[in-house]
Structure 1
Amino acid sequence: MGTHVIKMPDIGEGIAEVELSQWHVKVGDLVVEDQVLADVMTDKAMVDIPSPVHGKVIALGGQPGEVMAVGSVLISIEVEGAGNLKESAAPAAVKEAPAAPKVETVVESKSAAAAPRPAAVCQGPMVAREADERPLASPAVRKHALDLGIQLRLVRGSGPAGRVLHDDLEAYLAQGQSNASAPVAAAYAQRNDEEQIQVIGMRRKIAQRMQDATQRAAHFSYVEEIDVTAIEELRAHLNEKHGASRGKLTLLPFLVRALVVALRDFPQMNARYDDEDQVITRLGAVHVGVATQSDVGLMVPVVRHAEARSLWDNAAEISRLANAARNGKASRDELSGSTITLTSLGALGGIVSTPVLNLPEVAIVGVNKIVERPMVVKGQVVIRKMMNLSSSFDHRVVDGMDAALFIQAIRGLIEQPATLFVE
């Protein structure tokens, strides 16, 4: 018998260290070739580390959340034959899966991190949990469950460590389960439970980027009210006429088009600021980052060259990228390189928000929800569809007057939607 040592692989792009996000094996496990051993996290992507050999795990080189240098020992496997005790090159095929970690590690759950992939198949949509047990689920899933009137503790999770996913809620409904089956008294039971969650993987990256952005940039926000009645009528008309053949349009591709047109007169907004070298780079290409909420956190896939795309092309690309991000299939390139970001909370958009810049960009445009309100138009009180744009800028680079004029330009384009397409 020999020992096969696998070292932390060189992911590329000059990365010197990566974070060990999750183990899929434990000491004593038998593994086969190509079985995923661990997930490691770079600045932009999650990478699966597969086994190049058959054997038995005899040592693990780190703990989830630990930052490890490229070339350090990741795992040791006992194998038939001589092995390669001196060192192991990185596995020949490192499968990139740029989603965030499959699970937020819960301190009380010791077995989740060590569970081998594939995970156990869900045996049914309903599970009995204690009244004080809080199942793993993202904020989006919790909101979805609340909207559906589902108690999460009754839903069996099919994700890693029993994490409840959107599909699990649908499966629960499809089985005809009713939250009426849960004792009403359980909702009023006294609770004294606590939960500790390690901030690792994608959640740690998000925290670091948000902290870095707020510490380095001089944020200021500007909010403008926009009448979207006309563009909503246009959108409904286009969907009725072309939706079946070209796909349905949301408001986002219209906003992307408005950004593209407005940036022609305000190129200083489509820029990156290198605060170390004190250099502002203005870009002709408009690569729009579209902030997307996934089960594992906020991701920003990028619609490249939005200035060269049609309305439906932008719509299709936004949809494709959003689905890829939510399903954990967006590539590292698809999650980097934006020049300006568009963020929207959809129906949860609220009235006003203060979005955080996506450094090194200098502008981010936030979309709030559409509401119907009585407005005075030409002396008459009429019902109009109104929406706020809550946008943030880097005051080190962008003056307040320019920010206001930029958002006013977008407002004019949205309120007179024909001007979006007049060259």
Structure 2
Amino acid sequence: MLKTAIRKVGSITIGGEYYIERELAYGANNYHPLPVVLCKGEGMFLWDTSGKCYYDFLAAYSAVNQGHCHPKIVEAMASQAKTLSITSRAFYNNLLGETEELLCKTFSFDKCLMMNSGVEAGESAIKIARRWGYEVKGIPQGQAEIVFCSNNFWGRTIAACGSSDDPDRYKNFGPFAGLNFKIIPYDNVEALEQAISGTNIAGFMFEPIQGEAGVVIPTHGYYEKVRKLCTKHKVLMIADEIQTGIGRTGKMLCLDWENVKPDIVTLAKSLSGGLMPISAVLGKKEVMDVLVPGSHGSTFGGNPMACRVAQAALGVIKDEKLVENSEKMGEIFRKQMSKLIGGYIKEVRGRGLMNAVVIKNKKGAWDLCLKLAENGLLAKPTHGNIIRFTPPLIINEEQLNECIQIIRKTVVELHKFNPKDND
């Protein structure tokens, strides 16, 4: 469907397929991107190598909540890069403490551990929970268990693969038996109580809204019930807010919709505005204090450049009122998109600017995303028939309405082309 992207390199004309073929030739084949070759981003927009402009409705899986290349965050990064980028944690630096304080006060926690990638934050949370289980709860050595939900996704390390029930994640990467992980149904408090009632459970780690699974939202009251059960059975409540946090759902944290405070929360992605990997694990003092020198660390975690970038990224979220904008724009989006239900579209769901559209045809999401790209909007399917629509939180109402018109037009075009998709 997509026309070949063309650009000039010196006197040679190179098509977009050139870049795709080079990546396929030399890169590991672990992704299946849409055939769009991007080379520039600014705010709500991305450009391909031919100069075509697109609305970005994926936001790098929420990594660019503040929009692409936000000038305040870029300036903070560039300024600090010229001053001091990294010392490692072999020494103190002048920015880490104030950044940890900012994170703790912003999200109302006692202690902060700065890391890099989101999956590294998840691994760190599991390590902290296990150590807490042994040293505070009194779990016998080697027997600490962590409970996860079915269809979870928090990365692709061995631990993340071992916590998954998706064959694409775990097939031929085992064994996982020594991880002591349990998997229970999502949004099922009865299954949760049964799973954590044993004496060896250290933590329950879950996404407040399951992103990769297709923006799956639990029943209202689920967070509060999870909190009560974890408190009752002395189990750490670990919230993976890497996609849902920092304003994506219309609250600073998604759990704020029910005023629930977990014992540990993991953050990443838009903590840097998409400029570099930055993650953080936040928790209560009595939980985080199980870490002592030598028990955990990271060469790049909490480096001065990351600290400056994180400060600027959080400043943009606050100063530009992006949390409030996410809630307002999300309501408009779902209201307008719901008008398309009944034809090509089966369901619209979401919270804030974390939304999904379920296509009736089991394989129709890929075709719709290709057609959307032709019409100037980029999104990506998941699970065959679901499309996540997660634009940067800076989107205004005029831009949103234009994007809704693009989606509506595309759905109509595709429906006319293949009306049997509605069967």
- Where is the strand percentage greater, Structure 1 or Structure 2? 1
Bucket of the pairwise TM-score, normalised by the shorter protein: under 0.3
TM (normalized to structure 1)? 0.23
TM-score, normalised relative to structure 2: 0.23
More helix by share: 2
Q: Which has the larger radius of gyration?
A: 1
Higher RCO (C-alpha under 8 Å, 6+ residues apart)? 2
